[in-house]
Amino acid sequence: MSDSLERLYQAVIAAKDLDPATSRTARLFQRGPSKMAKKLAEEAIEVVIDAVNGKSDAVVRESADLLYNLTVLWASAGVKPEDVWREMERREDLLGIAEKLPKAVKSPKTAPTKPLPKAAAGPAVRRRIVALEGRSLRKR
């Protein structure tokens, strides 16, 4: 899979400076990161809707669109697929491949059991980790 995404990434890089009248990728680059982000969000919502409705063929098609738009946004942000794979490997070392990394975990060597001090946490907004089983969540 990473080879396919790498090929897609290279194709996006190659197409970003083409004529926006004929290249969807060039048009997205011309319109900027906020348009790219909007398209990515639209595709993510379409994947979710099709998954909830049990339309697996549509999930496949919309997932391809989602990956394309994610790759365009990566290229715009200067993120390469190998940067993402490196982060996935770091998370696997900490928690296992299927786990989402809690926001407070900063180093592959240590996983803090309590929140980091504000100075160590940096500018990112920190969120509480909560159990989802059988509970409704309230946004803060």
pLDDT of the residue at 133: 42
Specify burial of residue 37 (Cβ count, 10 A radius: 0-12, 13-18, 19+). middle
Least confident range from 49-58, 76-85, 101-110, 117-126: namely 117-126
Is 106 or 6 the better-scoring residue by pLDDT?
6
What digits encode the pLDDT tens for the residues 65-102? Answer: 999 999 999 999 999 999 999 988 888 888 776 666 56
Q: Which domains does the chain have, with CATH numbers?
A: 1-140 (1.10.287.1080)
**pLDDT (0 to 100) of residue 136:** 45
pLDDT (0 to 100) of residue 111: 44
Comparing 116 with 89, the larger pLDDT belongs to: 89
Task: Give the pLDDT band (50/70/90) at residue 127.
Answer: very low
Start-end of H helices in the chain: 2-15, 24-31, 33-52, 56-77, 81-95, 118-121
- Residues in Cβ contact with 130 at an 8 Å cutoff, skipping those fewer than 6 apart: 137
